[in-house]
Amino acid sequence: MKYLLSKLLVFIHRPIILSLGTIFGPVFIKGWKNVPRRGKLIVVVNHISDVDAVLVQLASKRLIHFMAADYLFKIPVVKNIMRAFAAFPVDRDRPDKRSIKHALKILNEEQALGIFPEGRLSTDGKLKKLLPGVAMLIKMTDSPVICCGINGAHKIIPYGKVIPRPALSKITLTWGEVIRFDKDDSKEDILEKLKQELITLSNDNN
């Protein structure tokens, strides 16, 4: 079975991450039942900490193939870990045909693709401008989309830091409902819808 190793690694590490989440958070997950168990899916997430992808994978019952900054894949140990968990590199500074091709392959295989549409970490925890690449992929593949809003993760690994620390407050990951865009929706309309969804979900700290 394809991606069996990555799925197995996620399954094995879930209890460990849950334990660490309790120590560093605690972490609360809302709306996890909204995530479809199978079928192609684009997962859109706000980006406030280097720990975001780990937390979102923890909050999902299925494997998510995350796009990640290509410089991380130049670090020997880190690149092996990221590839083992099905992440793949993307050049954030210019159109990257190789990463787009890989993203299309993932969706064609009925897998879940994870994207941080801001392209970079937010320096202040607030949502930044969404880049058009995510809208392009949605229109090209007619994929259903689900947003996950993260609140408080920047307290675990603040911007510019690399060592985790207790947040001393709760971290929330809130899943929205699945969104299906029409073929007639413009890229601008798609980006605006995703922006409003992420703002709403990432502000959910109740």
- More confident call, 24 vs 99: 99
pLDDT at res. 135: 96
Q: Is the pLDDT of residue 28 over 70?
A: yes
Mean pLDDT of the chain: 90
Amino acid residing at 71: Y
Once rounded to an integer, what is the mean pLDDT over residues 80-106? 88
Amino acid residing at 193: K
Domains for the chain: give ranges and CATH numbers: 4-202 (3.40.1130.10)
- More confident call, 7 vs 45: 45
Tokens 């720990």 belong to which residue? 51
67 forms beta bridges with: 88
| d(C-alpha 103, C-alpha 109), whole Å | 10
Once rounded to an integer, what is the mean pLDDT over residues 44-70? 92
Q: Is the pLDDT of residue 185 over 80?
A: yes
pLDDT at res. 168: 79
pLDDT at res. 189: 97
- More confident call, 111 vs 69: 111
Please tell me what DSSP assigns to residue 154.
G
Give the residue from 111, 100, 175 showing the smallest Cα distance to 143.
111
Once rounded to an integer, what is the mean pLDDT over residues 46-73? 91
Q: Is the pLDDT of residue 136 over 80?
A: yes
Q: Is the pLDDT of residue 204 over 80?
A: no
| d(C-alpha 15, C-alpha 32), whole Å | 16
pTM as predicted:
0.91
Confidence of residue 206 (pLDDT cuts 50, 70, 90): very low
Q: What is the pLDDT of residues 140-167, one digit of tens each?
A: 999 999 999 999 998 888 887 878 888 8
CB burial readout 108-147, b (16+ within 10 A) else e: eeebbbbbbbbbebbeebebbebbebbbebbeebebebbb
Q: Is the pLDDT of residue 109 over 90?
A: yes
Please tell me what DSSP assigns to residue 179.
B
